[in-house]
Amino acid sequence: MTEIIPYFTVYASSAIRFFLGPALGIGYGIGIGFTVLLTTAGMMSTVFSITFFNHIIQIFLQRFFSLRKKKKFTPRTRKFIKIWKYSGVKGVAFITPIVLSPIIGVILLNAIGAKKKEIIKWMLISALLWSFIESTLFYFLGNSLDIIPLNY
């Protein structure tokens, strides 16, 4: 049972905050390839669940968080609209793992009205790309700095 805990930790942490997955995976001594797979699977489970249950999430958010009237155009939303107009789903999916969390990125794409197929396709490509880059960086930086792996 204790052998599963590091793998589950990598999976669950990358579903919430992406960069934690590769860091923990390499720290636990899991190989680069398997860390990439676990990290991608964690992010994609969040993407699938939010994309396909978007209508339920919107009802929940409207019911519990619409108590006060919010501004529609804040500096933060303007920045997101600028990125959206410039690059579309591809750009938002590209910055989601490193700037946003998977949860925020998918909620924003669904709020804009992007197609589910496009969201899943570009988020998968982005997750694979960034998990490989981050896992490789953590692996080589960890070995060059003589950081001791977390032996669980």
Residue 1's pLDDT is 57
Provide CB contacts within 8 A for 129, sequence distance 6+: none
Mean predicted confidence (pLDDT) in 63-71: 64
Give the ranges where 53-115 is alpha helix by DSSP (H): 54-65, 75-95, 102-112
Residue 114's pLDDT is 85
Residue 75's pLDDT is 78
Return the percentage of the chain with pLDDT > 90, whole number: 32
DSSP state of 67: S
Q: Is the pLDDT of residue 58 over 60?
A: yes
Residue 141 to residue 27: CA distance in whole angstroms: 11
Q: Is the pLDDT of residue 41 over 60?
A: yes
Quick one: pLDDT band at residue 92, thresholds 50, 70, 90? confident
Do residues 83 and 112 lie in contact, with contact meaning Cβ atoms separated by under 8 Å? no
- Give me the helix-helix angle, 20-27 and 32-52, nearest 10°: 150
Mean predicted confidence (pLDDT) in 17-36: 89
Most confident of 74-83, 86-95, 115-124: 115-124
* Average pLDDT, rounded, for the chain: 83
What global pTM score does this model have?
0.80
Q: Is the pLDDT of residue 78 over 80?
A: no
Mean predicted confidence (pLDDT) in 48-57: 86
